[in-house]
Amino acid sequence: MKKQNDLVKLALASMFLALAFVMPFLTGQIPQIGSKLCPMHIPVILCGYVCGAPWGLVVGFIAPLLRSVTLGMPPLFPTAFAMAFELAVYGFMSGLLYRKLSKNKANVYISLVVSMIVGRLVWGIVQLCCVGFDISKFSLAAFWSGAVVNAIPGIIIQLVLIPIIVMALEKVNKTK
């Protein structure tokens, strides 16, 4: 039974990775806000909820690097590199907190918001490391702009869409 469960998680994680790879094509058709919608974030966070923290971490780390190496977008350094750590944290934290907290609507939101905050902080730390800790090249204003202001449309979509999907999946699992 454990092998079958691992195989199901592998298949689901592969599907989430494929979605993370493809979704930017859809949002990229709207150049003004395409990247602001954070299209890779949704499948990675859902992978954490559905498959668990380790799978979410792996899918999150691989997704931006795979897109960068195969398609050139996002640029590998520092963008995809920093995103790899950010998305790995999203996938890991969403899966970890979802398993640790009791299953209710409030905790789905709590796990999502905490994952989003910690992931963005990690992104900022990695970006700062990439510029050699030179705050003249990556300031607090640059962090705020990149992590929050530019991502507001994506943050709103994630706060609306992800809990709905997670709660619908919970409902389906309860009826089985």
55-101 pLDDT tens trace: 999 999 999 999 999 999 999 999 999 999 999 999 999 999 999 99
- Domains identified in the chain, total number: 1
Amino acid at 176: K
Predicted local confidence at residue 176, as pLDDT: 67
The predicted-structure confidence for 125-139, as pLDDT tens digits, reads as follows 999 999 998 888 999
Q: Over the stretch 11-60, which tens digit does the pLDDT of each residue have?
A: 999 999 999 999 999 887 776 787 899 999 999 999 999 999 999 999 99
Q: What is the CATH number of the domain that holds 147?
A: 1.10.1760.20
Domain that holds residue 129: 2-30+39-175
Closest CA to 147 of 97, 83, 95, 92: 83
Structure tokens at 41: 């974030």
Calculate the CA 75 to chain-centre distance: 18
pTM of the predicted model, to two decimals? 0.94
Q: In 10 A of CB 116, how many CB atoms?
A: 26
Report the candidate in 116, 95, 84 with the shortest Cα–Cα distance to residue 50.
95
